[in-house]
Structures are given as structure tokens and as C-alpha cells.
Amino acid sequence: MSRDLDSILRSPKAYEWARVAIDAMEQNRVWPTALNFELWMHYVASKDSEVATEIGALLKSGAPFTEQAGEAIAGKHLPSAKLSGEILNAGKNLTEELENVSRALESARESSEAYGQQLASASKSLEHDEDAEAVRAMVDNLTVATARVRDENKSLESQLAETNDELGRLKEHLETARREAMTDGLTLLANRKAFDETLDAAVSGTAAGEPLCLAIVDIDHFKTFNDTWGHQTGDQVIRYVAAVMARIAQPGGRFAARYGGEEFAVIFPGEGRDAALGALESAREEISSRTLKRRSTNEDLGAITISIGIAEQLPGETAPALIERADGALYASKRGGRNRTSIAEPGAASRAA
């Protein structure tokens, strides 16, 4: 889609767009469910998006906007709905494959039982019947039964091989869908859900005495910038800062995410606040020293700056508490004049760098 809906919803015109969306839904007799609201926000605020194009074509045709129509559009273009559909389809395919294997195993079991019964019958007949013709007939029957069991086993082996391949494809498909669900569409960084999961894992997995740092980064005066230059240019700035965050997250196990709107977060597992401070100060200086240009017109946008808050995990500290201290350090940077980094001190005011 041409514009990130999250940015639209966090913009100064968010309520205006929301009212337009509700009015449009009412005019077209569309119930204001959460899914319909998201679709119609795309329709009114991002006219060149795939969602808006499909809704426009539906309305132009004179067809009603039904729940089924909305779910179909969401399933094609909204990441969360697509993920649900993909997981549902993958689960259905997996169930079918397991049912096929179950049937093949049952067939093989029945063939083996029949073969066993034939062998038992042959053994009993040989004990009481010495007639050569009867023996020959039993041998022929056993030969046929042996061939049947061999064919059943080959079929089962082939079915199991196909199922193993299909399970591999399903696993890869689900992993791809999961990655997409954990990725921010505008910046291609990890999204808030991925950040929450990663921070929880890092906090619970940190050994005693091992450091862990969290930084929260915010673009200064972004609302004013958006009001002046528009959302698309604002998105350009967000993508630029995201690229810098991604680069400083490359070494080791660092993790960068879009925290929300114009905010980012970086997790530093196994690193103390000095290492985090060095990396983030380098990023802050790089961003503030660069003059950006508007991509569409090549106009100078001037320099942008970021404010940063860093917190190092205290013994036994939970993820929410660590976020709260990093957030407090960020606001200390804002209060201190912006374009700076502050470190949260345990039990004391945050120190600006």
C-alpha cells in the first residue's frame, strides 16, 4: 500500500480521517465493525491503495458491501487477515495429509493381518494335507499375498515420502507467514509484537550478572514535520531513521524494531549501557548531521534529530519496568532540549549525554 495506516492514525488528521470513514460507511450502509473500519480507513485516507481500489470497484458495480465482501478484501490485502487465512489453510492441509497417512497405515495393517491369516491357514493345511496339488495351490496363494503386501508397503513408503515433503513445505509456509506478521510494513524492521516477544525472552533469559540494555528512540518534532511536508515525506523520514537503527543493530544479537509511529526500540542483549550509548550516540550524530531531500521534488527538508533514552536492566527487573525506565530516560532527553541521549539511573534522575 502507498501509505502506512499506522502513520495515518497517529497523524494530526487522524480524527478527521476517522470521521470521514464513519460517514462513508454510514452512507453505504456498512456496519462499523473493527475490520470494516480498518478497510474504510484505507479507502478514505489512502485512495491509491489496493484496498481502496477494490472497495471503489465494488461500490461502482452497485454491489452491496457485505461482510463476506469485506472479509475477502481483508484476506487478500490486510496482513493480519492474510496470516489467519494462511494458518487456517496450512492447518487444513496438514489435517488432510495426516488423514491420508492414517488411511494408508490402516490399509497396510489390514493387508498384513490378511497375509498373516493366509500364512496360518497354509501352515495348518500343510500339517494335514500332503497332496501335491493342494500344496502348489497354497504356494501360489502365498506368492500372490506376498506380492500384494509388497505393493502395499511400497505405496505406504511413497505416501510417507510425499507427506514428509508436504510437511516441510507447510512448515516453511508458516514460518514465512509468521515473519510477515512480525514485520513492520513501512520500515521492514520488526514490529511491536515482535519487539514485545523478543524483550520478554531477553529479560527472562538473561543470566545473573549478564547485562541487558534497552533504548527507545523518538524523532524530534515529527508532528510539525508531518504537518509541513505531508505524510509521504514523513514516511520517508521514518524509513531513513529505521535504516540507521537497522545498521547499528547488525553486530551480534542486537534487535531493532519500530516501537510505534515515529518511535523505535533497540535491545542490546549481553551489552551494558556504555556499549549501547556508544552505538546510539554515533547514530544520533549521523542523523543530525545529514540534510535530507524530498524524494519527489528534491527540496531540502533540513536536518532532523532524534532523542534517545537508555535503561540497563536491574536485577530481577521485568520487561514492563525496563520499558518504563527507558521511556522515562527518553522524556528526560526531550525535556533537556532534544537531540540527546539520556541514561536511566536506578533510583535517580536520568543523566543526559
Query: Which of 150-159, 225-234, 316-325 shows the lowest per-residue confidence on average (mean pLDDT)?
Result: 150-159
* Percentage with pLDDT > 70 across the chain: 71
**What confidence tier does 351 reach under pLDDT thresholds 50, 70, 90?**
low
pLDDT at residue 112 in the model: 64
Average pLDDT over residues 74-89: 60
> Rounded to whole angstroms, what are the CA distances from 204 to 254, 317, 322, 324, 349?
16, 10, 12, 17, 26
- Choose between 79 and 225: higher pLDDT: 225
Q: Is the predicted pLDDT of residue 81 greater than 80, yes or no?
A: no
Lowest-confidence pick of 49-58, 80-89, 176-185, 286-295: 80-89
User: What pLDDT, on the 0 to 100 scale, is given for residue 280?
Assistant: 97
Instruction: Please give the pLDDT value at position 1.
Output: 38
pLDDT at 299: 82
Give percent of the chain with pLDDT exceeding 90. Answer: 32
User: Looking at per-residue confidence, does 249 or 106 come out higher?
Assistant: 249
- Please indicate whether residue 132 or residue 50 has the higher confidence score (pLDDT): 50
Confidence of residue 154 (pLDDT cuts 50, 70, 90): confident
Query: 129 vs 31, which has greater pLDDT?
Result: 31
Instruction: Name the pLDDT band for 67 (thresholds 50, 70, 90).
Output: confident
Do 199 and 250 form a contact (C-beta atoms < 8 A)? no
Q: Which residue has the higher pLDDT, 292 or 85?
A: 292
Angle at 215 between CA 211 and CA 218, to 5 degrees: 175
Does the domain at 192-352 match CATH 3.30.70.270? Answer given as yes
Q: Which of the four pLDDT bands, split at 50, 70 and 90, describes residue 278?
A: very high
DSSP string for residues in 293-331: E-TTT--EEEE--EEEEEEEPPTT--HHHHHHHHHHHHH
Phi, psi of 89 (to 5 degrees): -65, -40
Work out the mean pLDDT of the chain and round it to a whole number: 80
> Domain locations in the chain?
5-77, 81-181, 192-352
pLDDT average, residue stretch 5-25:
74
Of 309 and 185, the structure prediction assigns the larger pLDDT to 309
SS3 193: helix
